[in-house]
């Protein structure tokens, strides 16, 4: 058995006893530390106290509004992987949950295998906590844990691929990145098709970053790829 503290802690906040116990047991038998809480208040306290790595959050709780709880968890534990579990297939609930800072969602009834696969994939992908959580380039900030961008404090709403492209460029700000590397990182490791989608996404990202104050610019490197240049006042 590996050191218990090395294993990710998954907090389950779910008022349905059957689902709560099932998830707790399944997570433990799949190598996680897991703790189930039947109320939002207890879940928030537990996640905060034990510094949860992952929270599986049921949106329909008896004591607290699930979306509000998602927001509080996200602000108090910025590196948290937050997955919403909802019986409501209503798009609006899912959207408000994601807006509140959730990384992913599953609509009940969901497959345990899919849930475990999603957690594994997210944990693999997430950057080293704390040190790489925030990227600041002039007025642009990128919170990689929350996948949220702001310009001078205002939210910058990006499509999934625009965000991933910007994050990849920003993590390497000032350095050239080849088209192949960008395609592999943002789209698919086995990409064989046209890379026009890259140019289209770059163009729309430039558009979203344009006409704003101190934001980085995307420089085209002909025959190679792209480079994100920090705004002038950041240059050294
Ligand atoms: Ca519920």
The yes-or-no verdict on residue 45 having pLDDT over 60 is yes
Give 125 Cα–ligand 1 centroid separation in angstroms.
29
39 CA → ligand 1 middle, Å: 9
Residue 60 Cα to ligand 1 midpoint, Å, equals 4
Alpha-carbon gap, residue 60 to 40, rounded angstroms? 10
Is the pLDDT reported for residue 191 higher than 50? yes
Residues bordering ligand 1, an ion, CB closer than 5 Å:
15, 58, 60
Residues of the chain with CATH 3.40.50.2300: 4-124
Angle at 171 (CA atoms; ends 131, 54), nearest 5 degrees: 50
CA of 66 to the centre of ligand 1 (A): 9
Ligand 1 centre and the CA of 40: distance in Å?
A: 10
CA of 220 to the centre of ligand 1 (A): 50
Q: 57 alpha carbon to ligand 1 midpoint, in Å?
A: 9
Dist. CA 17 → ligand 1 center (Å) = 10
Q: How far apart are CA 157 and CA 149, in angstroms?
A: 7
Confidence of residue 80 (pLDDT cuts 50, 70, 90): very high
* 131 has pLDDT over 50: no
When pLDDT is cut at 50, 70 and 90, the band that residue 128 belongs to is very low
Yes or no: say if 80 and 55 are a contact pair by the CB < 8 Å rule: yes
How far, in Å, CA of 166 to CA of 202, rounded? 9
**What does the DSSP 8-state code read for residue 60?**
B
**Mean pLDDT calculated for residue range 161-166:** 92
CATH code assigned to 134-229? 1.10.10.10
Residue 110: pLDDT above 90? no
> Which residue ranges does the chain devote to CATH 1.10.10.10?
134-229
Centroid of ligand 1 to alpha carbon of 19 (angstroms): 9
Ligand 1 midpoint to CA 53 (Å): 22
Residue 133: pLDDT above 50? yes
130 φ/ψ sector (left φ>0, alpha ψ -120 to 50, else beta)? left
Q: How confident is the model at residue 188 (pLDDT cuts 50, 70, 90)?
A: low
State yes or no: pLDDT of 127 exceeds 70.
no
CATH homologous superfamily of 4-124: Response regulator (3.40.50.2300)
- Average pLDDT for the chain: 85
């Amino acid at each position: 058995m590996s050191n218990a503290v090395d294993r990710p802690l998954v907090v389950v906040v779910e008022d349905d006893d059957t689902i709560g116990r099932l998830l707790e047991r399944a997570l433990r038998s799949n190598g996680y530390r897991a703790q189930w809480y039947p109320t939002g208040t207890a879940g928030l306290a537990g996640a905060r106290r034990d510094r949860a790595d992952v929270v599986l959050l049921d949106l329909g709780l008896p004591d607290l509004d699930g979306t509000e709880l998602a927001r509080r968890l996200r602000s108090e534990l910025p590196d948290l992987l937050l997955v919403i579990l909802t019986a409501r297939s209503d798009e609006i609930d899912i959207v408000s949950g994601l807006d509140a800072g959730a990384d992913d969602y599953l609509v009940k009834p969901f497959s345990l295998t899919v849930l475990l696969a999603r957690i594994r994939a997210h944990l693999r992908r997430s950057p080293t906590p704390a040190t790489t959580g925030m990227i600041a380039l002039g007025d642009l900030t990128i919170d990689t844990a929350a996948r949220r961008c702001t310009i001078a404090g205002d939210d910058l709403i990006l499509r999934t691929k625009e965000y991933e492209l910007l994050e990849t460029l920003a993590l390497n700000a000032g350095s050239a990145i080849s088209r192949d590397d960008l395609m592999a990182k943002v789209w698919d490791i086995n990409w064989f098709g046209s890379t026009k989608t890259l140019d289209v996404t770059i163009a729309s990202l430039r558009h979203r970053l344009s006409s704003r104050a101190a934001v980085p610019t995307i420089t085209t490197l002909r025959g190679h790829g792209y480079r994100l240049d920090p705004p002038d006042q950041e240059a050294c």
